[in-house]
Structures are given as structure tokens and as C-alpha cells.
């Protein structure tokens, strides 16, 4: 299947917006169900229980994921390149 202009445009814009989202947040707190799944797949050392700055820590059974700082910039740059490529394509 040859990617069409609209497919590349949509993929590029989505990657760019996901990159912006990763730049705007510091961490994600997972639900209990997804935390159990990650612990079952990766083990407890992959996502240790973290303490909060305000004392309480995360709720029981929940894990916090902190994406690396470079991930948002990488997604934004790849998304912008794909978007520009789609705009330069012929219909």
C-alpha cells in the first residue's frame, strides 16, 4: 500500500501533537489495572513506587511513569518532517 498525502498528513500531525503532549506533562500516574500489567510484564524494578513531594506518595497500587525529556522533542521533529513531506507530495 502506497501512503497517500492525507495519510501522511494525519500521521505527521498526530505525532507532532503527541510530542507536544509529552513536553507539557512531567509524569503520568497509571491506573491500578495498568500498573499491575506493567509489573507483571517488566517486574517491580522497571517502575518502582515513587514518593510525592507533598508527602503522601502515589495511591496504593499505582505507578508513575516519567517520560524522558528528549521524547517530546523527538516526536515533534519527526511529526513536522512527515507533515512537510506530505505537503510537498503530489495528489
For the chain, how many helices (H) and strands (E)? 3, 2
Residue 18, domain member (yes or no):
yes
Number of independent structural domains in the chain: 1
What range defines the domain where residue 83 resides? Answer: 1-38+68-91
Give the residue among 26, 31, 23 at the shortest CA–CA distance from 58. 31
Give the pTM. 0.72
Burial of 6 (0-12, 13-18, 19+ CB in 10 A): exposed
Residue 61, domain member (yes or no):
no
Q: By mean pLDDT, which of 9-18, 21-30, 49-58 is the weakest?
A: 49-58
Residue 53, domain member (yes or no):
no
Q: What is the pLDDT of residue 29?
A: 87
Residue 56, domain member (yes or no):
no
Give the residue among 85, 70, 73 at the shortest CA–CA distance from 12. 85
Residue 76, domain member (yes or no):
yes
Question: 9 pLDDT band (50/70/90 cuts)?
Answer: very high
Q: Which residues pair with 28 in a beta bridge?
A: 65
Amino acid at each position: 500500500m502506497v501512503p497517500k498525502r492525507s495519510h501522511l498528513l494525519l500521521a505527521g500531525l498526530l505525532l507532532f501533537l503527541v510530542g507536544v503532549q509529552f513536553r507539557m506533562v512531567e509524569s503520568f500516574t497509571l491506573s491500578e489495572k495498568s500498573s499491575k500489567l506493567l509489573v507483571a510484564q517488566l517486574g517491580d524494578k522497571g517502575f518502582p513506587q515513587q514518593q510525592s513531594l507533598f508527602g503522601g506518595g502515589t495511591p496504593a497500587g499505582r505507578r508513575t511513569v516519567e517520560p524522558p525529556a528528549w521524547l517530546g522533542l523527538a516526536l515533534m521533529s519527526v511529526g513536522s518532517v512527515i507533515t512537510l513531506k506530505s505537503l510537498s507530495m503530489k495528489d
